[in-house]
Amino acid sequence: MSIERISTQTRREQITETALNVIANQGVGSLSMAVLARRIGLVPSAIYRHFDSKDKVLDSVVDLLQKKLLGNVAIVRKEGTDHLNQLKRLLALHVRLILEHQALPRLIFSGDIYYGQPERRKKIFKIVEKYLHEVASIIREGQRQGRINPDLDPDMLSVVFLGLIQPAAILWHLSDGKFDAGKQVEKAWPFFHDAVKARKQTETLT
């Protein structure tokens, strides 16, 4: 009569993924134990066999997000081509990630997820910070390699880099998919690339 029984380990992953999807599609406000349970085919109280509370579920979601986000960085670093190319690749992966899980910006922005939860807020900040560190680090290597203009501040650039994606993601989502985030980023990349690459010789920066 009942649903198949699954090990807590797998269940936890399933619950976390589902929660991420709910947040992505409907926002943090729509995430309830009931919704979560229904989507999986469980009864609300069953969730408590695997998580102590809704808060713990949210913590788990944040962890998942971290894994996915920083995972992308690891991927492009392994590919180890030229550093500007790493950034390009990272951009592409990030776009895909965001389009798959619109939840990413929502987790960061909504505030509902960390209001009254300073720990969680700090954690999310750390994740973003780490991501930016990695990007800045790639940029620095590119500068050492002589491919990226050494006059530019890598930390500033890393934030701008993030900005190549974010608004595109918003627009995509707000427009219900009509705005083509992929195309925007494709167009924005050459602009960024050109602005960032080392100048051949004499070129004033004003």
Nearer to its own copies, 27 or 70 (CB): 27
Q: Is residue 145 a contact residue for DNA (CB under 7 A)? A: no
124 binds, among its own copies, DNA, none (CB under 5 to 8 A by kind): its own copies
Tell me how far apart the alpha carbons of residues 163 and 130 are, in angstroms, rounded to a whole number: 16
Nearer to DNA, 43 or 159 (CB): 43
Nearer to DNA, 55 or 151 (CB): 55
Determine which residue in the list 25, 26, 53, 145 makes contact with DNA, applying CB under 7 A: 53
**From the CB of residue 33, how many other CB atoms can be counted at a distance below 10 Å?**
20
Residue with tokens 């960085």: 73
Q: Is residue 8 a contact residue for DNA (CB under 7 A)? A: yes
Tell me how far apart the alpha carbons of residues 131 and 107 are, in angstroms, rounded to a whole number: 15
Nearer to its own copies, 43 or 156 (CB): 156
Helix axes 54-79, 118-144, angle to 10 degrees: 0
Tell me how far apart the alpha carbons of residues 68 and 166 are, in angstroms, rounded to a whole number: 16
Cross-strand bridge partners of residue 148: 197
Q: Residue 203: CB partners within 8 Å, gap ≥ 6?
A: none
Q: Is residue 25 a contact residue for DNA (CB under 7 A)? A: no
| Number of residues in contact with DNA under rule CB under 7 A | 27
Binding site for its own copies (CB under 8 A): 26-30, 102, 105-106, 108-113, 115, 121, 124-125, 128, 152-153, 156-157, 159-160, 162-168, 170-171, 173-176, 184, 187-188, 190-195, 197, 205-206
Smallest separation, CB 142 to DNA (Å): 45
**From the CB of residue 94, how many other CB atoms can be counted at a distance below 10 Å?**
24
Q: Residue 67: CB partners within 8 Å, gap ≥ 6?
A: none
Determine which residue in the list 13, 17, 39, 46 makes contact with DNA, applying CB under 7 A: 46
Is 197 strand, coil or helix?
strand
Q: Is residue 45 a contact residue for DNA (CB under 7 A)? A: yes
145 binds, among its own copies, DNA, none (CB under 5 to 8 A by kind): none
CB–CB of 93/72 below 8 Å?
A: yes
What residue ranges bind DNA (CB under 7 A)? Answer: 1-9, 11, 31-35, 42-46, 48-50, 52-55
